[in-house]
Amino acid sequence: METGKLQLLGMTLDELRTVAKEVGLPAFAANQLADWLYKKRVSDISEMTNIAKAKRELLAEKYEVGCYKPSEFVKSVDGTVKYLFSAGPGRFVESVFIPTEDRATLCVSSQVGCKMNCLFCMTGKQGFKANLTANQILNQIHSLPEHDRLTNLVFMGMGEPLDNTTELFKVLEILTATYGYGWSPKRITVSTIGVMKGLRRFLEESDCHLAVSLHSPIPEERRALMPVEKAFPIKDVLDLIRQYDFSHQRRVSFEYIVFKDLNDSPRHAKALVALLNGIPCRVNLIRFHAIPNVPLQTSDMGKMEAFRDYLNHKGITCTIRASRGEDIFAACGMLSTAKNSTFV
């Protein structure tokens, strides 16, 4: 529900200091506000009981906590849960909770729609509608019913995270800061198609893991799948990545959806090994999940296993990612809030 008030959830400590000063609170009150928001996870300003009642009332005139529950959810036979969150009047985003035996991961969205228009992705088919605010990104995590079970976060939902860097970096700060949720950056992965300006900032400022959507080692073939190859060639992306150290705790992985007779040949495997030469990394092979009006098909498991084995033999760690949530359109490339989606 739109109240016209500003949301405190999603504000950094510096922003909370400005809020505190505005209502006549001392500077240290910003830490109290952060504690109530990110550690105690209150839903209303009235619950912030170590702040004077008169100041709380003054605060509530202009601000609200700004957390809101998902509008709808649908659960897969494999336990995956897809949630629908409001993102402003008439706009929604999806996020996906993926539990396994040893971890519980949330796939987080960063935009309503996407500008990148990758051939194999439903999000791009709905076009770009808006960047999510830090509040709207963080609320997917904060208000998740399974919040207390979460072990990992992946920014691999709707949108291109590094095309929304201002809001994304606020969220990453709050997630990892001691005043915020205090998560280790090693529990967070940010995915990108390779937006160079945002990627450079991410590599400089963040210790979170990086995942790069690659999908073909051959530029003209990648361009047919991902028009962004024209603006941000994968060679340039990799040249930038090579300037940073991924040999210790921070990791880089490459996502590779395997399409039948398109990028699954020994020629592609050989070209991929050459392309990634010198980068300590992991390659995740992903089965293509069919989406409407796209003529692509997934490769067969035998070819995927041969591809994986070749890369491992050449010294590149390669795995085949298990598909989750396909029956509820929650698997890789299937998120959309256009009219043909699960919810709308």
3.20.20.70, 3.40.50.620, 3.30.420.40, 3.90.45.10: CATH of 72-328:
3.20.20.70
Tell the burial category of 294 from Cβ atoms under 10 Å away from its Cβ (0-12, 13-18, 19+): middle
Q: What is the pLDDT, as a whole number, of residue 343?
A: 45
Q: What is the pTM of this model?
A: 0.94
At 222, the amino acid letter reads R
- Report the alpha-carbon distance of residue 59 to residue 203 in Å, rounded: 37
Q: What is the pLDDT, as a whole number, of residue 291?
A: 83
Regarding predicted confidence, which is higher, 309 or 2? Answer: 309
Q: What is the pLDDT, as a whole number, of residue 340?
A: 34
Range list for CATH 3.20.20.70 in the chain? 72-328
- Report the alpha-carbon distance of residue 344 to residue 84 in Å, rounded: 10
Encode pLDDT of 116-154 as tens digits: 999 999 888 889 999 999 999 999 999 999 999 999 999
Range list for CATH 1.10.150.530 in the chain? 6-64
Active-site residue, from 118, 208, 318, 332: 332
Let me know if 67 is a catalytic residue. no
- What CA dihedral angle connects 152, 269, 240 and 12, to 10 degrees? -10
Q: What is the pLDDT, as a whole number, of residue 334?
A: 55
Cβ–Cβ < 8 Å for 311, 272: yes
Encode pLDDT of 236-254 as tens digits: 999 999 999 988 889 999 9
Mean of the per-residue pLDDT values of the chain: 93
- Facing residues of 68 across strands? none
pLDDT band at 13 (very low <50, low <70, confident <90, very high): very high
Q: What is the pLDDT, as a whole number, of residue 75?
A: 93
Q: What is the pLDDT, as a whole number, of residue 336?
A: 65
Encode pLDDT of 14-55 as tens digits: 999 999 999 999 999 999 999 999 999 999 999 999 999 999
Q: What is the pLDDT, as a whole number, of residue 109?
A: 96
* Residue 85 pLDDT greater than 60, yes or no: yes
* Residue 193 pLDDT greater than 90, yes or no: yes
Encode pLDDT of 317-328 as tens digits: 999 998 777 766
Q: What is the pLDDT, as a whole number, of residue 341?
A: 46
Q: Quick one: average pLDDT of 63-89?
A: 94
Let me know if 332 is a catalytic residue. yes
Q: What is the pLDDT, as a whole number, of residue 249?
A: 84
Does the domain made of 6-64 have the CATH classification 3.30.420.40?
no
CB neighbours of 289 closer than 8 A, spacing ≥ 6? 298, 323, 326, 331, 332, 333, 334
Which position has the token pair 């505005």?
22
Encode pLDDT of 278-302 as tens digits: 999 999 999 998 888 899 999 999 9
Active-site residue, from 64, 94, 229, 255: 94
Relative to beta strand 111-113, strand 128-131 is antiparallel
* Residue 67 pLDDT greater than 60, yes or no: yes
Q: What is the pLDDT, as a whole number, of residue 167?
A: 98
- Report the alpha-carbon distance of residue 286 to residue 32 in Å, rounded: 44
